[in-house]
Structure 1
């Protein structure tokens, strides 16, 4: 842990701890030159001599710095302080999406689409740059005071051409939102992110994740083997067209999911249209 008041890189004065993670800790700091608050992610002291963790931290900085989008947390600076790598990011003053759902559920359907559209727009840009996030979950999605969404934590994001990394790190991520192919250690693609987006949409609508269990393995098995629980059985006021977006995004076989985040967004944006009121339930073409 870094002490409050410490001047990192002779520029960023540590104010408080925002969060502690497996790879890095995040602090609230003041940029003494520009006199603004920033979030600083610093590699944990006990991991600074692990080459794999160092490389992962550098990948996050590289992946995020290449992605300029209003719904992705901006990287402002990257440096080292006495050999300890750090990354300076814009400070988002607000809850993460998990906290927002827990406090405000049930959400209005139009608000759900507004939130999801921002997430999809950001992921579409990442995918355009061939960056797969691989750990999309509400805890990694921040919301500012005006309701603007900011995706954070590209810590296990990977460029599609880095196939060795895709294989070796593929089982990282949060099991409640993880695609069946990720839990099996298979190749992670853009469709793996699409699956996670479908689970996030499910949680926005229902207030809960579709699968729970006593162990990560039990939850992973449900993702691989069990159908997504019916949203409309819980709440018949949810249009079938909206549930179909969830069902298509979370199809077990990646070939049945949306080809792109843009395609998912277009389908979502028309899901409340009256002309889609009598839409049949989505049925995947490929069966496991």
Structure 2
């Protein structure tokens, strides 16, 4: 506690100076003391000796801290947002991307990013980005050190001030990692750009918040998950180089990625083309298939944890960290960590996850990439969790009718409520995706949802987030008092009617806007699909006509439902669809009948392929001698070639064993006549 108190006193401005309460308080100083537990990917295990650490006394004395900060090179103490060094991207405390090249700060709780160059935070009005853990969701995680709404030039100077007070900037961890720049603070950790002096490369260092170290299960789980993550060496996984503890807080050293995250891209573009979406998800599934094969489950797949480099593969970050955090959260609050919009139902109801839990998150993320929305984004946290547990997500084509059925089915299977209805593994899902993508026409792959971007990439003002906790400046009290005194002045009273009229006008406008939203995008814009399974196409179309939805007909064979009868609808009866959406009638073509191919004189090893291509199966196989049909080829079949039979009918075949061998008697020692007589 003494160390924490001294640090706070050092970080606090001197008496009489205005306090910038818009700055997010820096974390307690994770200064390296004593030995540290470490594991390194691709290196030998290394334990720092006491001689390698700075004198702890230098960090308990505020004056000593000042001397160290002032003596360090400027590049080691400044958080200059425009610095060119350390260009790259890491993940914030909860998995959000932080780009040193663009200085993006990812907000883990509110799923937003901030550009330090322009002091801009995208407007993220997506309710589903709220965390289940309410205690964590209330924090403005991952924001830059200052919440100032001034221009970028002023923000830059504020950043410099924060750099001087952040105890880690300009210092060295484990006598190896020189911390150069603060990237982001989140609910779990603070992320810095650092330089690995031993291997001479820039890295990202994530220092976990000290309060997490109070829980033994977190510390042990963090070490275990870090070791597992360090073994994941894959082009689509952000590499963990090293881990250890500093002043009781765990830290990770990770690959610094030069680019931005998927959340930033979605905020700027609204949605992605079908081809981009499938390509990004292909990389994510590649990463998950590799991680799952090594026994590592992510548990918190979301756009903030998907990094998009300027060159190379899309990468997934923060493997295993959500599991470590959930252990603490479940033990202390009875809740789980995760972002509601992407959280699998079983994680909330049972706090259990397997590989298919990650696939649910991938399905929701693909839905958002294609449509610009998450499935239940208009709902509250509780309602979203309840909807995931009780409702199937709508097909993406309900929002964007041009999206093909194959993609609809793929998204809905990934995000199925029941784990048993999802693909068996990430590898299975990857194979399905590759097959679907290869069959789609180029013109369709280039299509994109017409969605307004959440952020104007050219804007420089910081946009306030809904539900965001914003610190008020100390001068706000003074302003309030000033206004209170001025209200006693007669001139102030003359403004009362104008204020009332303005308020009434705003209320009317807000009411009109809400009414428009309710019937265009809110609950009032959705209608319930009637149950018309078993009706004819004409009857179904007449039933749907008053709803003014677009009706499509998709035909398929069915062994039970008669021809021209509706098998089902998509979405099914009882579910809701947007009033401008699409209802697809799945109409039966009856039982599928196929022609039996000619198998005679075909090699036996080709029979199965020929039958599979004709949607038939092989039945009984017998072998017989034959005078003219060569060995190994088909003599006859049943049913015969040309017959029309039901699909999957078994075809029996007779295979030739060749000519029957003849027994020749021994004629040794016999006369010619006797030999001829014996042979005949």
- Give TM-score, length-normalised by structure 1: 0.86
Instruction: Give yes or no for contact 1:56–1:156 (8 Å, CA) kept in 2.
Output: no
User: Is the alpha carbon distance of 1:46 and 1:187 closer, same or farther for their aligned partners in structure 2, counting shifts above 3 Å?
Assistant: closer
CA distance in 2 between partners of 1:274 and 1:123 (Å):
24
Count of aligned positions? 277
Question: In the alignment, which residue of structure 1 is the partner of 2:356?
Answer: 191
Structure 1 contact 190–260 (Cα < 8 Å) conserved: yes
1:61 aligns with 2:226: yes
* Alignment pair present for 1:39 and 2:201: no
Q: Tell me, what secondary structure is at the counterpart of 2:259?
A: coil
Partner of 2:496: none
- Cα displacement string for residues 154-206 of structure 1 (whole angstroms, at most 9, x for unaligned residues): 20248xxxxx99x8688322111011111212532211111111111111111
The equivalent residue for 1:181 is 346
CA–CA distance in structure 2, aligned partners of residues 178 and 265 of structure 1 = 20
* 2:397 matched residue in structure 1: 232
Question: CA–CA distance in 2 between the matches of 1:126 and 1:183?
Answer: 22
Q: SS where residue 173 of structure 1 aligns? A: coil
Residue 21 of structure 1 aligns with which residue?
186
- Residue aligned with 2:392, SS: coil
List per-residue Cα deviations over 1:222-248 (Å, max 9, x = no partner). Answer: 111223123112212211101111011
Whole-angstrom CA distance in 1 between matches of 2:265 and 2:402: 22
Indicate if the aligned counterparts of 1:6 and 1:13 stay in contact, CA closer than 8 A: yes
Segment drifting more, 110-119 vs 210-219: 210-219
Give the greater-gyration-radius structure (CA). Answer: 2
- Residues 1-288 of structure 1 correspond to what in structure 2 (within 5 A)? 1=27, 2-146=167-311, 148-154=313-319, 155-157=321-323, 171-213=336-378, 215-272=380-437, 273=439
Q: State the SS of the aligned residue for 1:78.
A: strand
CA distance in 2, matches of 1:37, 1:189: 34
Residue 363 of structure 2 contacts residue 414 of structure 2 at CA under 8 Å; is this kept in 1? yes
Q: Greater relative contact order: 1 or 2 (C-alpha under 8 angstroms, separation 6 or more)? A: 1
DSSP 3-state at the match of 2:205: strand
For 2:374 and 2:228, the matched residues in 1 are separated by 28
**Which SS does the other structure have where 1:218 is aligned?**
helix
Q: Secondary structure at the match of 2:252?
A: strand
Matches of 1:95 and 1:195, distance apart in 2: 24
Shift in CA distance, 186/89, structure 1 to aligned 2, threshold 3 Å: closer
Higher alpha-carbon deviation: 208-217 or 248-257? 208-217
Deviation, 1:81, is 2.9
Distance in 1 between residues matched to 2:227 and 2:571, nearest whole Å = 39
Alpha-carbon distance change, 53 to 252 in structure 1, aligned in 2, over 3 angstroms: same
Deviates more, 1:44-53 or 1:85-94: 44-53
Tell me how far apart the structure 2 counterparts of residues 33 and 270 of structure 1 sit (CA, whole Å).
Answer: 45
8 Å contact from structure 2 (residues 391, 417) kept in 1:
no
SS at match of 1:59: helix
CA distance in structure 1 between the partners assigned to 2:185 and 2:400 by the alignment: 37
CA contact (8 A) 2:210 2:248 kept: no
Cα offset for 1:279?
8.4
Which residue is 2:76 aligned to? none
Report if the CA contact (8 A) 1:43-1:85 is conserved: yes
CA distance in 2, matches of 1:182, 1:7: 39
Aligned equivalent of 1:161 = none
In 2 relative to 1, CA 270–36 (structure 1 residues): closer, same or farther, beyond 3 Å? same
Offset, 1:128: 0.7
SS in 2 for 1:132: coil
Distance in 2 of aligned mates of 1:124 and 1:198: 15
CA distance in 1, matches of 2:570, 2:171: 55
Q: Which runs of 5+ in 1 are unaligned?
A: 159-163
What is the distance in 2 between the residues matched to 1:62 and 1:124?
Answer: 18
Q: 1:124 Cα shift?
A: 0.4
TM-score (norm 2): 0.38
